[in-house]
Structure 1
């Protein structure tokens, strides 16, 4: 069983996001990806829902190598995937991080103050 968690923190002028996926089960879990992208982070104004247009998205205007891949998360271990918003304005934001794997839906969210 995989448990996702999200941590956001300031690093210099950027806002860094870490999506950690912990395997709390007894067996290893394989994550399959359709391309080189591993995580998508979307940032919304605080109080907005996901139907709103994000203020920033980690994969906007980016291209990813079209190569399939996989990662295994052994039992009792975790994997962390990261992204960073280089120059956020001060404010309160609603952040959604999603693992971009094809065989599981894993996401975490939080509200963060910059």
Structure 2
């Protein structure tokens, strides 16, 4: 299984928007399995290791088994936003929350 991730960030003083795109680079379909309704997470850090914000932190996700099949070459994009960010320079890393596949992507940005 070969998945590629890309994280696009659109930062303003009011909001930082994240778009995490996961692409199936494998010639065969990939069936992504999730143990709950959480499909991804985005973690924002500053100074290399100080966690500032996480999409999943403080959220409740429905407890249900879900799946998503990506055909060869198909992509899926997961979006989220950080409201009222503090000014600074950050690194965001997005993670796929599937039980059976790993995919992540990072991007640097400033507010």
TM over 0.5: yes
Match 2:71 to one of 63, 71, 74: 74
How many Å separate the matches in 1 of 2:13 and 2:67? 32
- Asked if 1:38 corresponds to 2:35, the answer is no
Instruction: Give how far 1:11 is off.
Output: 6.2
Instruction: Give how far 1:57 is off.
Output: 0.6
**Is the 8 Å Cα contact of residues 28 and 73 (structure 1) preserved in structure 2?**
yes
**Is the 8 Å Cα contact of residues 13 and 84 (structure 2) preserved in structure 1?**
no
Unaligned runs of 5+ in 2: none
- Asked if 1:21 corresponds to 2:18, the answer is no
Match 1:58 to one of 55, 58, 70: 55
Name the structure 2 match of 1:5. Answer: 6
**Is the 8 Å Cα contact of residues 13 and 85 (structure 2) preserved in structure 1?**
no
How many Å separate the matches in 2 of 1:10 and 1:95? 11
The Cα offsets for residues 5-56 of structure 1, whole Å up to 9 and x where unpaired, read as 11111368210111101112211111000000011111011x313xx4x111
Unaligned runs of 5+ in 1: none
Question: Higher strand fraction: Structure 1 or Structure 2?
Answer: 2
